[in-house]
Amino acid sequence: QKEVEQDPGPLSVPEGAIVSLNCTYSNSAFQYFMWYRQYSRKGPELLMYTYSSGNKEDGRFTAQVDKSSKYISLFIRDSQPSDSATYLCAMSERTDSWGKLQFGAGTQVVVTP
Amino acid sequence: GAVVSQHPSRVICKSGTSVKIECRSLDFQATTMFWYRQFPKKSLMLMATSNEGSKATYEQGVEKDKFLINHASLTLSTLTVTSAHPEDSSFYICSASISTGKPQHFGDGTRLSIL
């Protein structure tokens, strides 16, 4: 069993719809949760960063963490074609510079005009 | 703007060649940088942790003699793929944290193709 599970998609939604992404994990020691967006042939770009359980909102993006269920989510409101990319969840037990990230497989999102 | 710069973005070379990839932190010092490898439609796999002034720490299964890492300054880490072969073809990405407790930022990656 992988430490982090993420549906690879593709997930296709019409422009303006809400995109719902999620990851599950097995390591209860994970405390820090991140979402990255990766365009084709580019490095991952940090979108959201949360600690422990709860919600965090930044513009059109909302990240949720439920540590009791070992489940994290990312919601993208009013989706745009420019949101078409692969979204990677990542987790870490630590935040110091030695912290290693465990990534999900990434979900490919396609927003159609 | 970008906080981590990676160069070159694309390399095509013959089998047996050694290839050096640079990763620079922009406007901040990074005592630790990370090197990842990504296969098509796959997630990132950590290869090694690069430590300024000391030896890199390699993940299990990564050949340290094949993938040489040097972190000679607080803003530069290099990954050298020695005697590269077609199976080394991949997308290599580096990352660094701006400060302790902050998540990693990634470079734009290097696409390596060995013919």
Query: Is B41's CB within 8 Å of A8's CB?
Result: yes
pLDDT value for A101: 86
CB B105 within 8 A of CB B95: yes
CB A110 within 8 A of CB A10: yes
Query: Is A96's CB within 8 Å of B101's CB?
Result: yes
Residues of B within 8 A of A109 (CB-CB) are none
Q: What digits encode the pLDDT tens for the residues B12-64?
A: 999 999 999 999 999 888 888 999 999 887 889 999 998 888 889 999 999 99
The two beta strands, A85-92 and A107-112, are antiparallel
DSSP per-residue letters across chain A: --SEE-----EEEETTSPEEEEEEE--TT--EEEEEEE-TTS--EEEEEEESSEEEEETTEEEEEETTTTEEEEEESS--GGG-EEEEEEEES--STTPPPEE---EEEEEE-
Query: Is the predicted pLDDT of residue B113 greater than 80, yes or no?
Result: yes
Helix (H) or strand (E) holding B71: strand B67-73
Residues of B within 8 A of A58 (CB-CB) are none
pLDDT value for A93: 85
* B43: CB partners within 8 A, 6+ apart: A6, A88, A103, A104, A105, A106
Query: Is B100's CB within 8 Å of A95's CB?
Result: yes
The dihedral sign for the CA sequence A104, A44, A101, B91: positive
pLDDT value for B34: 93
pLDDT value for A81: 97
pLDDT value for B54: 86
Q: What digits encode the pLDDT tens for the residues A38-87?
A: 998 899 999 998 887 889 999 999 999 999 999 999 999 999 999 999 99
Share of chain A above pLDDT 90, in %: 74
CA distance B74 to A22: 36
Helix (H) or strand (E) holding B68: strand B67-73
Residue A85 touches partner B, C-beta closer than 8 Å = no
